[in-house]
Amino acid sequence: MPKYLLRVAVAVALLAGAAGTSGCSDSGEEETPKAGGTEGAPPLKWGDCEAPTAAEGGGQAPPKDWQCATLHVPLDYADPEGETIPLALIRAKARNQGERLGSLVFNFGGPGGSGITTLPGAAKEYEALRRRYDLVSFDPRGVGRSAPVLCLDDKQLDAYYASDSSPDTPEAEKAYLENTRRYQRACEAKSGKVLPYVGTENAARDLDRIRQALGDEKLNYFGISYGTELGGVYAHLFPEKVGRTVFDAVVDPTATSEQGALGQAKGFQLALGNFAQDCVDRGDECRLQGSTAKEIEDNIIKLQKQLAAKPIPGIGDRMLTESSATNGIAQSLYSQELWPLLEQGLDEAEGGQGQLLMALSDALNGRSENGDYSNIGAANTAVNCVDSKDRYTLEQTKAKLPAFRAASPVFGDFLGWAMMGCTGWPVPGTAETPDVSAPGADPILVIGNTGDPATPYEGARKMVERLGPGVGVELTYKGEGHGAYNSGDPCVQGAVNSYLLDGKVPAANTVCTPAPDASQPPARPSAPAEPVGARAHSRAGGHASSGTPRG
């Protein structure tokens, strides 16, 4: 299934379940008003936000009009009166309180992405929705400030992400498997207490606690990438509590780990082909050698082989390896606005300079300029491996590699090997695929993007089918990049805004096609991008870090 990643740090106080407002100061606390009929969770105490932790990706504190709070939830829902863990939340209050509809809760994907850092950074994209909604997001359990899963330290992660993720000799295979085991042992040693409880079903139950604490009768929700799977599981568990809901960049809920990884191989290869063809169409403006898209792709494969044999200078004393270059290429395919950087990075790498591709790879892996990693990679692995029963042997994996190479000469080996990321994981998986059937739920708008590399377009139709009759409403966007709403396309945004703000469900099978000369918005994806193959993340797990990406 497709999932992805990015970000590592400390967790002692959080795992101890410190009370109060983790991530908030004590000044200016404000309680969330309770609406009649909501149940369970106490109202939230909102206060000023602190700067994001290293595990959340670091950076500056959000603007003063943002507020943070902490909600304590059961570590184990089978023992609801037992130990609790903190969930960190953030919100920006609705501009027009007189027309306020409630809260709109966002999950931007991963699994493992921090909502505390992502929502403020992407808030301008959702300004129209803030007119009538409080915009709310959170760090899901295992992520950022919410009892984060921790594995390797920063220096170890530098070596881990640089190591060979597509071994082609017995010696390389042995090193790959040992790297995977080393990663897993570190996760168990540092985070064994929470590993059994970070799966999507528990996160969905957390969502309902958040709904209760916000005082909303129903959950209004915007899920992106893996956030669509989380939303689908929520809809299955709590169909009567589904409010106005949008799924964008949709994970295929019917795909096994192998099927999801293979779909991603095809998706990234499709996006790379579109990039290469665009370069050819621009003629002499294109910096890359090759008169056809295939020639450009062949040169990329040649570069990969050269880097496998001899890495080139990257950033500081780090070298650009085949794995880090492939991650950098994948990062650039998440958004069409990043294509110029991919073109420049490939051109420079062919000339022996790997700084730009390494910077793109660092962004994908959640590495800041000062060398700190967020914990998105660790959280992604942990969630994927507890969600999925799939555990592939070395023999099974090697037998499947030809199909992956046929699907993508550039990404196939990486995504194929990534299926072993959960083999040997200390916690057993729970299912082959998630149950997202939601009979009786209110309509859910499901958006598929025909050019999406990470969550291929076909997943939207499968989600609609699995949600059940009268629930899923499909909308198609014929565009590029991961997701549709963040493209700025007026057709997509108009349909979403009309539904969320006015309750008008678009006609099923609506198609939005961007104008040929449509200007593109700034390069800021709505959902975190996540590494491919080298550390691809999804149900299967990936290198020592998880499997095929979810989104």
Q: How far is CA 501 from CA 211, 233, 486, 504, in A?
A: 18, 24, 17, 8
Q: What percent of the chain is helix, strand and coil (3-state, nearest 5)?
A: 45, 15, 40
> Residue 537: left if φ>0, alpha if ψ -120 to 50, beta else—which one?
beta
Distance between CA 377 and CA 100 in Å, rounded? 36
Taking the CA of residue 389 as centre, how many other CA atoms within 13 Å lie in the half-sphere pointing to its CB? 7
DSSP state of 431: B
CA–CA–CA angle 215, 221, 227 (5° rounding): 130
Token readout for 447 is 């958006």
Integer Cα distance of 78 and 309 in angstroms: 51
CA-closest candidate to residue 539, choices 442, 430, 444 = 430
- Find the catalytic residue in 163, 225, 332, 526: 225
What is the Cα–Cα distance from 198 to 191, expressed in whole angstroms? 11
Helix intervals (H) in 126-169: 127-130, 154-162
CA 25, CA 15: separation in Å to the nearest integer? Answer: 19
**What's the token pair of residue 336?**
């069409």
Task: Give the list of residues 6+ apart from residue 246 with CB closer than 8 angstroms, or none.
Answer: 221, 222, 223, 444, 445, 447, 485, 496, 499, 500
Q: Please list, in sequence order, all residues whose beta carbon lies within 8 angstroms of the beta carbon of residue 316, skipping any fewer than 6 positions away.
A: none
Q: Which one of 103, 164, 257, 482 is the catalytic residue?
A: 482
Question: ∠ CA(403), CA(457), CA(551), 5° rounding?
Answer: 80
Rounded distance between C-alpha atoms, residue 68 and residue 80, angstroms? 24
Compute the distance between CA of residue 423 and CA of residue 512 in angstroms, rounded to an integer: 41
Q: Which member of 452, 487, 543, 545 is catalytic?
A: 452
452 included as an active-site residue? yes
d(CA 315, CA 548): 27
Q: What is the rounded distance in angstroms from the CA atom of residue 96 to the CA atom of residue 164? A: 53
CA–CA gap between residue 61 and residue 24 (Å, rounded): 10
Phi and psi of 318, rounded to 5°?
-90, 140
User: Token pair of 427, please?
Assistant: 């916690």
* Distance from C-alpha of 211 to C-alpha of 419, rounded to nearest angstrom: 35
| Residues known to be catalytic | 225, 452, 482
